[in-house]
Amino acid sequence: NAGVTQTPKFQVLKTGQSMTLQCAQDMNHNSMYWYRQDPGMGLRLIYYSASEGTTDKGEVPNGYNVSRLNKREFSLRLESAAPSQTSVYFCASSITGAGETEAFFGQGTRLTVV
Amino acid sequence: GESVGLHLPTLSVQEGDNSIINCAYSNSASDYFIWYKQESGKGPQFIIDIRSNMDKRQGQRVTVLLNKTVKHLSLQIAATQPGDSAVYFCAENLNTGFQKLVFGTGTRLLVSP
């Protein structure tokens, strides 16, 4: 059982480039999330999808877009990368809302914007 | 404001000791709390959770205590092992519409053999 799979694991972008981070879960979870983690800080919610077909902004959505492609997949897109977006990005999923049950996390994508 | 914080950024213990990691939360309406463990290069991993109608919950070698009066959460790890070395995060559910978790900044636990 793979759980939550993120690709790529590492990425270096130049300022202004775009890219999409992919996330897939095989646990039949309804809800999916994207977080970013900066050094010395906790995880901050970027966007979430409560269920297939819905997406909502989290705490730090500026500079990002998301797509809930189907129940399994939830992608995060950076249209014009900025150095401030250098971070480790985590995708997570849960059966319902994160507060109902535990959220399962992927291994993370380490993104550097130069 | 809405925040979750930890008192000690780094905790160093000897193998076999009991460890206590503390967390303060600010939102009195939060109704669900989780402790996560994050090892280097990995995503957070669920350890234990507790709902606001409970004061204590025990798992295997771990106990979470919730004091709603002072908005304080703690994680106790019994007989700490080197494999317990990691960063530990507490997270609270703000219970504002769709339930989202707000994470604290984390405490690094270092276990010496």
Is the per-residue pLDDT at A104 higher than 60?
Answer: yes
pLDDT of residue B101: 79
B105 and A4 within 8 Å at the Cβ level: the answer is no
Q: What is the pLDDT of residue A100?
A: 58
Q: Name the minimum distance, in Å, from the CA of A1 to any CA of chain B.
A: 16
Quote the pLDDT of residue B13.
Answer: 96
Which of A88, A84, A107, A105 shows the shortest CA–CA distance to A39?
A: A88
Inter-chain residue contact A100 with B32, CB threshold 8 Å = yes
Confidence of residue A97 (pLDDT cuts 50, 70, 90): low
In this complex, do B4 and A42 lie within 8 Å of one another by their Cβ atoms?
A: yes
* Mean pLDDT within A67-96: 94
Per-residue pLDDT of chain B (113 residues; tens, 9 = 90+): 334 544 448 999 999 999 999 999 878 888 889 999 999 889 999 999 999 999 999 999 999 999 999 999 999 999 999 999 999 999 988 765 555 778 888 899 999 98
**Among B91, B108, B112, B109, CA closest to B23:** B91
pLDDT digits (tens, 9 = 90+) for A29-76: 988 999 999 877 788 999 999 889 999 999 899 999 999 999 999 999
* Nearest-neighbour CA in chain B from A59: distance (Å): 9
Determine the pLDDT at residue A39: 78
Please choose, from the candidates B39, B71, B46, B42, the residue with its C-alpha nearest in 3D space to the C-alpha of residue B60.
B46
In chain A, which residue's Cα lies nearest the Cα of B5? A42
Which residues does chain A have within 8 Å of residue B103's beta carbon, measured at their own beta carbons? 35, 42-44
Cβ atoms within 10 Å of A26's Cβ, excluding its own:
12
Question: Other CB atoms closer than 10 Å to residue B95's CB: what's the count?
Answer: 16
Average pLDDT over residues A18-37: 95
CB contact A40 to B (< 8 Å): yes
